[in-house]
């Protein structure tokens, strides 16, 4: 891969917009996931015993998966 090649302005703008969008997705998925995990972080024994809210935890886990995908996408956009 030739890293010294000039990037046309349209390509540079597309890269910047893609990076910005993925960065916002990273931000938007990381903070709510922490809020959704709070019941487990406060009292893990109660969650394991079965009195926890599994829907909130599953939604938090889904947001974590989106976070992983957006982190990989951000790294790929910066790299290439």
Specify if 3 maps to a domain: no
Number of domains in the chain: 1
Residue 4 falls inside a structural domain: no
* Total number of residues shown for the chain: 80
Q: Per-residue confidence at 80, pLDDT binned at 50, 70, 90? A: low
Q: Is residue 33 part of a domain?
A: yes
Quick one: the chain helix, strand, coil %, rounded to 5?
85, 0, 15
What's the start-to-end Cα distance of the chain, in Å? Answer: 9
Q: Tell me whether residue 41 is in a domain.
A: yes
pTM, two decimals, is: 0.77
User: Chain centroid to CA 38: how far?
Assistant: 18
Task: Give pLDDT tens digits for 11-69.
Answer: 889 989 999 999 999 999 999 988 988 888 888 887 777 766 688 888 999 999 999 99
Distance CA 51, CA 44 (A): 10
45 is a domain residue? yes
Domain range enclosing 72: 9-79
Decide if 1 is inside a domain.
no
């Amino acid at each position: 891969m030739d890293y010294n090649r000039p990037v046309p302005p349209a390509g540079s703008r597309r890269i910047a917009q893609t990076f910005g969008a993925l960065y916002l997705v990273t931000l938007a998925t990381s903070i709510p996931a922490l809020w959704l995990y709070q019941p487990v972080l406060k009292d893990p024994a109660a969650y394991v015993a079965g009195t926890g809210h599994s829907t909130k935890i599953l939604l938090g886990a889904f947001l974590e998966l989106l976070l992983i995908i957006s982190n990989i996408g951000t790294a790929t956009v910066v790299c290439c």
